[in-house]
Amino acid sequence: MLLAIEQGNTNTMFAVHDGKEWIAEWRSATESTRTADEYAVWLLQLLELEGLSLKDLTGCIISSVVPQSMFNLRNLSRRYLKVEPMVVGENVDLGIEVTIAKPNEAGADRLVNAIGGFAAYGGPLIIIDSGTATTFDVVSATGAFEGGVIAPGINLSMQALHTAAAKLPRVAIQRPATNKVIGRDTVEAMQSGVYFGYVALIEGLIERIKREYVKPMTVVATGGVASLFVGATRAIDKFDSDLTIRGMLEIWRRNTPPKSK
Note the pLDDT tens digit of each residue in 39-93. Answer: 999 999 999 999 999 999 999 999 998 989 999 999 999 999 999 999 998 878 8
The predicted model gives 21-34 an average pLDDT of: 91
Q: Which has more confidence, 135 or 230? A: 135
Sheet strand arrangement including 2-7: 22-29, 11-17, 2-7, 59-64, 86-87
Q: What does the pLDDT read at residue 117?
A: 96
Q: What does the pLDDT read at residue 183?
A: 87
Q: What does the pLDDT read at residue 189?
A: 87
The secondary structure element, H or E, covering residue 152 is strand 145-152
The predicted model gives 12-28 an average pLDDT of: 93
CA triple 205-206-210, angle to 5 deg? 115
Q: What does the pLDDT read at residue 3?
A: 96
Q: Which has more confidence, 105 or 249? A: 249
Q: How far apart are CA 65 and CA 134, in angstroms?
A: 14
Q: Which has more confidence, 39 or 186? A: 39
Most confident among 90-99, 103-112, 117-126, 178-187 (mean pLDDT): 117-126
Q: What does the pLDDT read at residue 238?
A: 92
Residue 152 CB contacts under 8 Å (≥ 6 apart), including other chains: 133, 134, 160
Q: How is the chain split into domains, by residue range? A: 2-87, 103-247
Among the options 37, 56, 93, 109, which is catalytic?
A: 109
State the architecture of 103-247 in CATH terms.
2-Layer Sandwich (3.30)
Is residue 261 predicted with pLDDT exceeding 80?
no
User: What CATH number belongs to 2-87?
Assistant: 3.30.420.40
Decide if 109 is catalytic: yes
Q: pLDDT tier at 241 (50, 70, 90 boundaries)?
A: confident
Q: pLDDT tier at 212 (50, 70, 90 boundaries)?
A: very high
Residue pair 88/62 in contact by the 8 Å Cβ criterion: yes
What are φ and ψ of residue 126, in 5° steps? -115, 120
